[in-house]
Structure 1
Amino acid sequence: MARPPAPGSVIVPDWHESAEGKEYLACILRKNRRRVFGLLERPVLPPPVAIDTASYKIFVSGKSGVGKTALVAKLAGLEVPVVHHETTGIQTTVVFWPAKLQASDRVVMFRFEFWDCGESALKKFDHMLPACKEKTDAFLFLFSFTDRASFEDLPGQLARVAGEAPGVVRMVIGSKFDQYMQTDVPERDLTAFRQAWKLPLLRVKSVPGRRLADGRTLDGRAGLADIAHVLNGLAEQLWHQDQVAAGLLPNTSENTPS
C-alpha cells in the first residue's frame, strides 16, 4: 500500500471547530444529539449547500474484549456498552463526517460503514471473515492498553486479515488509553511498532461520553470533539489512498515486515 500521508497534510485537522465546520456538523446533529443513520439514510444539507459524498467500508478487527463495539459506538455517538458482550454475527454502523481538504479547500462528506464481527463468530463460521473483507476500503486493528496480549497479537491480525489486501488502508487504534495506571503497553513498544510497520497509530479513551443538562443524553458536540482525530485520520488515509489509486499522486510504497 502507499505510504501513509503525514497527519494534517490531506484534511484540515481543526476545521470541525471553526464556524464553517460547525455549520456542516449541524446536519449530523439534532438538538446537540448525534443523529443515527441507517444504511440507506444520509444527512440533509440546506439547498444551497452541495457537497460530494465519499463512501467507504471499514472492517474493525481485534481480539475479543479490546473494545471494537465500544469504539464504533463512540464514533457513531451511541451509548457505549457498560458490560462486555461478544458481538454475535456481523454488525454494521454508518457514520457521516464532513471534512475540508487541504489541497482544494473543498468540503467532502465522508460516509464510513463500519463492520464489526465477534471473534467467536469469525472462528465458527468460515464465511464471516471473507464477507467482512469483501470490497473493504480500510482495516482498523484494535488493541487495548490494558491487554498486553492484544498488542502482541497485532502482527498476526495484520497478516491474517490484511495480508492479501495490499491496497487497503490499515490503521491501528489503542483503546482504554485513559487507564494509564493499568497499562500493559509502554511507549517504547509503541515506538518500536511504528518504526517496524509504518502504520498510523491512534489512541482512544474508554471513559463514558459527556452528557447534556438532563444528565442522561449524550452530548453530541462534545462526543464529536472526542473522536474527531479518529474520523479525520480515517478520512485522510482513505482520501489519500483514492488519489494514489487514481494516479493523481505518486505511489510511494512501504515495505511491510515479514
Structure 2
Amino acid sequence: MVRLSVNINKIATLRNARGGNNPDVVNVALDCERFGAEGITVHPRPDERHIRYQDVIDLSSVVTTEFNIEGYPDDRFMQLVKKVKPHQATLVPDSPDVLTSNAGWNTKEHGSMLSDIIAELKSEGIRTSIFLDPDESMVSSAVSTGTDRIELYTESYARNYENNREKAIEPYIRTAAAAHSTGLAINAGHDLDLENLAYFTQQIPYLSEVSIGHALICDALYFGLENTIQLYLRACGHYR
C-alpha cells in the first residue's frame, strides 16, 4: 500500500486570507492524522504566502506521523530543516517567484550542489528526496547525489490522463523502474486527485508515498475532510 501524506499548505492559505488563526493549521494537521493520513507535508516559501516558518516549528512538536518538509534548499530552508529535523526533506528546484512547483531537478547539471546539500541533511539523520521529472536519463545522476528517494513530478501525467492514460503513465513506469533497480525509493506528487490517483498507484508497483494537497483540500469542501482522506487512502490501495 502507498502511504498518503497530506500537504496542508492550502489550509494556511485560507487562514492567511483573513488573518487570525482560523483555520488552525496545527489542529487541521492533527485531524488529518486522526482521520488516517500517514504523513503531513508542508512547503514553506520565502514570502510565507501560505505555510509560515513558525508553522513548521509548531507542527514539528506535535506531528506523530511522518513529517515531510519540501522546498528549495537555500540557507533559510536549510537552517529550518536542520532545526526541526523532520523525517524527510524533499528538495524542489523552485525559484522564489513561482506560483507552484513546475519542474524536477536537472540532476546532471545540479548534481554537485545536491550532493553537498544531501550529505549535510543526512548527517543530521534526515531522509532526503529530490523532485524529478519522469526522465529515466536523470536517474543515474540522481543516485550519485546520495539521495534516499526521488519524488516523481506528476503534473504531466495528470494533465494528459483523460486523453490517454496509458501514454501518460509510460515515462513514469520507465523512470520508476530505473530508480527501483538502483535501490532508490519512489515518492510522487503534484496534481494527483481522486480521478487519476488509483491508476497511478496501480501502475507504479514500487511507489512508497504520495503527497497531495490542493486536490484533497478542494475535495474536502464537498465530502468533508475525514471522508476525503478515506477516499484518497482507498485510491492508494488501502482497504482493497
Instruction: State the TM bucket, normalised to the shorter chain.
Output: 0.3 to 0.5
Which structure has more relative contact order (CA 8 Å, sep 6+)? It is: 1
Tell which structure's C-alpha radius of gyration is larger: 1
Structure 1 length normalisation: TM-score?
Answer: 0.35
